[in-house]
Amino acid sequence: MLDEPRLETLLNAYFDQSLSAEEKAELEQMLLSSARARETFRRHADQHGLLREWALRNQGADLASMAVPQASTRDSRVVPFPKKTIYWLGAGLAACLAVALLAFWRQPSPADESSRARTVARADGEVPWNKVALLAEAVDVEWASDSIRPALGGALPKGWLKIQRGILRLDFYSGVRVVVEGPAEVQLLSPEEARLERGKLTAYVTPPAVGFTVHNREFTVVDRGTEFGMNATGPSSCEVHVFKGEVALQGGIIKSGEKLLFGGDGVSVRDGKLTSIAPDPNRFVNPELLRTISDQALAANLSEWKARSDAFRSTPGLGVYFDFEDIDFNRQVLRNRSLSPRSGDGVIIGCESVPGRWAQKGALGFARTSDRVRFRMEEGTTPSLTLLAWVRVDGLPLQHNQIFSMAPMQVGEVHWKLNEEGKILVGVRAVNEASWGAWERLESPPVIGEKDFGCWLRLAAVLDGEHGVMKLYLNGREVASGPWKRVVPIKLGVADLGNLAMFSADGQPEPTETQVRNFGGRIDEFAVVTRALSAAEIREFSKWPEMLRAGLDTPAETSKN
Amino acid sequence: MFFRTPAVLMSEKNDPDSHVAEVQGLFIKHQPAVRGFILSMIPDFSLADDLVQETFLVVTKKAHTFEMGTSFLAWVGSIARYKVLETLRQHSRRNCFLSEEVLEALVVEQEHLSTNTDICLQHLATCISKLAPQARKAIELRYRRDCRPPEVARLMGCTMQSANVTLSRARAFLRNCLDQQMRTSTI
């Protein structure tokens, strides 16, 4: 009979290299005489190797964090391992570092990739302390090619905002609301400071933000608690209109001290000459007017979406289509709007009623571990499947942030999720085993990050059994594609939107904390199609209405970088 | 001798460097498995690191004998095993190594090197984050700083017996945690 506690002790001593001669003989005897002991040995050995690998990678990461990798440090040679730590810290640190980093570049682990993605993102200015304002509204905007291209509701970093046309409302972190009318070029310098190179700008400065400063070639406008407009019409012409309160003009054409302007005052500079003008609020868009314009644009967008949604209902193969409109909260029912449904309505468990892409559009908010929409697709299988969703990701706090799952614990089970690193994953269970290897999966690079939180994103996953391919899309663009080697028919059945569909039969393993995998955010449109949609069809589903498109299509472009 | 299809031969002939680079890439991908295999027979980190490196050099030298599409793990496993046995013979007096007879018995039953190491490492990191502070410190000292139990005890200000118990419990916790993570893994 195998003395397992004794075996554990001896194995620990073996891997810690502290076996005595007697203990070694005892361990060898156990290993020779017992298959179970050999199995236990292999488990310990695997763990020993994994722990060492973990340690080496962390050492690499620690060292890597001490230096920003430059492209020029890459080496065409492949040397796959960090040499002993002590060497790393010696005179050849730089070379060893390049070698170790190269090893990770050539074949990065998921964790390495994620940390590197974060590093790159930060190098690109994606750091919270670099942000100065929020893009609160954007109407009919056409961005210049060399502009920051933020998402609506996204944080704006320092840098140039350049628009060919349209209107923006920027809410500076200092408390100033600024409306910019295109064509315009505005440089964001800090939460309290901007530069107007071209175009119109109206600032509404609240008491906490007194001192807000706008630079121009002709002068600097320092606010003393007011509402004022600026119109830079050319390289040597600019107007200031003070509607309320007081501003001070400094520098540039103001040769010394400052010139104070009060409500009802205005000045114009043209070719170096300063003249007084009457302020004209009608020449500027104020926030109220912007809201009206914005509301009209949004109403038009919503109508456009409704028309498109109606047309989408007859999409061939559309088994489930939740448009999240007219949700029956008394009965907790989410209606399946497909014209050829392969499922009944959804049942809402938990979830909050929240606005969708538009204030008037319905959506469900997913936050609690129990929140989900449960539905049941009619029993059967399909060779291919496409999943489509409009989601607002509010954060990725969990290791698994499940968007959709279907047919738990059956061959052909489907999972679709985001992980904590911002990767999108889709998978199909190929064999009936509770193991990682039981799945065929596709994983995107990290494509969803902080800048996307709170923004509406269009996600799609295609499982194409006929061609043995899986694809993932973000905002209408393919972000991952890979072979589906062990093709199995996709199982239709019980499904959960926004959570993991669990199988509760006896004999299943106890749920663990890794099975807490609810989605955190909002969903306002979702579809299951029992065929592989083409890229063009996915782009069509992912279209933003024309009016806001320029302002809202940009997250995909920035996310990919 | 490996049989290589004409297409493979042609591609190697056209670009032998890229074939070598591809084989090296496979090695890097499976490096954790190779290291684990070597560490099971040579628990000394320093020696094992050297052996991983030597195995890589042999893999590079013999890359032309590997045919893409065949089992890389089986191929690299045989190279690593040869290097390990060579080292054991050089250090035959060291008590910390198991006898060749025992190692043979262990290797015979091991069909191939373990796969899924990337996901294992991900799960392991999660499990390590759940360790109690003292247990985590002991694991870090042992595996990151290559301290053996007497040194772990000294740095943690405890007895060696206590350090051994802490390490043993931490490993048991990590094994259970990893098992659970792998069992419940989905995609």
| B129-154 per-position pLDDT tens digit | 888 888 999 999 999 988 999 999 99
Say whether both B98 and B122 belong to one domain. Answer: no
What count of other Cβ atoms lies within 10 Å of the Cβ of residue B22?
16
Domain end residue (candidates: B109, B126, B158): B109
**Buried-state track A24-39, b at ≥16 Cβ within 10 A, e below 16:** bebbbebbeebeebbe
Place of tokens 């961005």: A143
* Sign of the torsion formed by the C-alpha atoms of A289, A291, A292 and A298: positive
The vertex-B7 CA angle with B2 and B8, nearest 5°, equals: 40
Asked whether residue B59 is domain-assigned, the answer is yes
Say whether residue A400 is in contact with chain B using an 8 A CB cutoff.
yes
Picking from B37, B53, B187, the nearest residue to A427 by CB comes out as B187
Picking from B28, B96, B128, the nearest residue to A78 by CB comes out as B28
Say whether both B125 and B87 belong to one domain. Answer: no
pLDDT number for residue A513 = 45
Say whether residue B17 is in contact with chain A using an 8 A CB cutoff.
no
Asked whether residue B1 is domain-assigned, the answer is no
Closest residue in A to B175 (Cα–Cα): A47
Domain end residue (candidates: B109, B135, B165): B109
What count of other Cβ atoms lies within 10 Å of the Cβ of residue B146?
17
For residue B126, the chain A residues in CB contact (below 8 A) are: 399
Tell me how far apart the alpha carbons of residues A3 and A9 are, in angstroms, rounded to a whole number: 10
Tell me how far apart the alpha carbons of residues A457 and A459 are, in angstroms, rounded to a whole number: 6
Say whether both B151 and B76 belong to one domain. Answer: no
CATH no. for residue B148?
1.10.10.10
> Residue B86: which domain range?
6-109
Give the DSSP letter of residue A312.
H
Token code pair at residue A20? 């005595």
Say whether both B94 and B22 belong to one domain. Answer: yes
Average pLDDT over residues A19-42: 91
Banded pLDDT at A432 (limits 50, 70, 90)? confident
Strands (E), A437-520: 439-443, 456-464, 469-474, 477-483, 490-497
Say whether both B31 and B82 belong to one domain. Answer: yes
* Chain B contact probe: residue of A26, A54, A417, A515 with most B CBs at under 10 A: A54
Q: Which fold has domain A301-504+521-560?
A: Jelly Rolls (2.60.120)
pLDDT digits (tens, 9 = 90+) for A468-503: 999 999 999 999 999 999 999 999 999 999 998 875
Banded pLDDT at B91 (limits 50, 70, 90)? confident
First to last CA, chain A: 60
Total domain count, chain B: 2
Banded pLDDT at B92 (limits 50, 70, 90)? low
Residue type, B154: R
Contacts of A501 (CB under 8 A, 6+ apart): A374, A405, A406, A407, A408, A494, A495
Torsion (CA) A152, A157, A159, A163 in degrees, nearest 10: 0
Token code pair at residue A109? 């682990």
| A502, A408 Cβ separation under 8 angstroms | yes
Say whether both B101 and B127 belong to one domain. Answer: no
For residue B171, the chain A residues in CB contact (below 8 A) are: 12, 44, 47
Least confident of A57-66, A390-399, A431-440, B95-104: A57-66
pLDDT number for residue B10 = 46
Domain end residue (candidates: B109, B142, B157): B109
Three-state DSSP class for A440? Answer: strand
User: Is the pTM higher than 0.80?
Assistant: no
Picking from B28, B44, B149, the nearest residue to A103 by CB comes out as B28
Q: What is the mean pLDDT of chain B?
A: 82
Tell me how far apart the alpha carbons of residues A322 and A325 are, in angstroms, rounded to a whole number: 8
Give A343's strand partners.
A377
Asked whether residue B53 is domain-assigned, the answer is yes
Least confident of A372-376, B111-115, B116-120: B111-115
Say whether both B63 and B81 belong to one domain. Answer: yes
Closest residue in A to B126 (Cα–Cα): A399
Say whether both B81 and B123 belong to one domain. Answer: no
Say whether both B47 and B96 belong to one domain. Answer: yes
Across the interface, whether the CB atoms of B96 and A17 are under 8 A apart is answered: yes
Contacts of A104 (CB under 8 A, 6+ apart): A57, A60, A64, A112, A116
CATH no. for residue B15?
1.10.1740.10
Token code pair at residue A72? 């020029």
Contacts of A355 (CB under 8 A, 6+ apart): A361, A362, A363
pLDDT number for residue B93 = 61
Asked whether residue B95 is domain-assigned, the answer is yes
Place of tokens 């060399």: A146
Which one is predicted more confidently, A18 or A109? A18
Across the interface, whether the CB atoms of A83 and B53 are under 8 A apart is answered: yes
Say whether both B33 and B97 belong to one domain. Answer: yes
Q: Of all residues in chain A, what percent are helix, strand and coil, respectively (each to 5)?
A: 30, 35, 35
Give B57's strand partners.
none
pLDDT digits (tens, 9 = 90+) for A283-319: 998 878 888 877 777 788 888 899 999 999 999 999 9
Q: What is the mean pLDDT of chain A?
A: 81
* ipTM of the prediction greater than 0.90, yes or no: no
For residue B182, the chain A residues in CB contact (below 8 A) are: 435-436
Helix/strand/coil (H/E/C) assignment for every residue in A212-280: CEEECCCCEEEEEEEEEEEEEEECCEEEEEEEEEEEEEECCCCCCCEEEEECCCEEEEECCEEEECCCC
Residues 111-170 of B with CB under 8 A from A: 114-122, 124-126, 128, 139-140, 142-146, 148-149, 164, 167-168
Banded pLDDT at A139 (limits 50, 70, 90)? confident
Tell me how far apart the alpha carbons of residues A308 and A43 are, in angstroms, rounded to a whole number: 57
Q: Which fold has domain A128-285?
A: Jelly Rolls (2.60.120)
Place of tokens 């799960």: B123
Per-domain boundaries in chain A: 28-123, 128-285, 301-504+521-560
Say whether residue A435 is in contact with chain B using an 8 A CB cutoff.
yes
**Buried-state track B81-115, b at ≥16 Cβ within 10 A, e below 16:** bebbeebbeeeeeeebbbeeebbebbbeeeeebbe
Say whether residue A20 is in contact with chain B using an 8 A CB cutoff.
yes
* Intrachain domains A128-285 and A301-504+521-560 with the same fold: yes
For residue B149, the chain A residues in CB contact (below 8 A) are: 16, 18
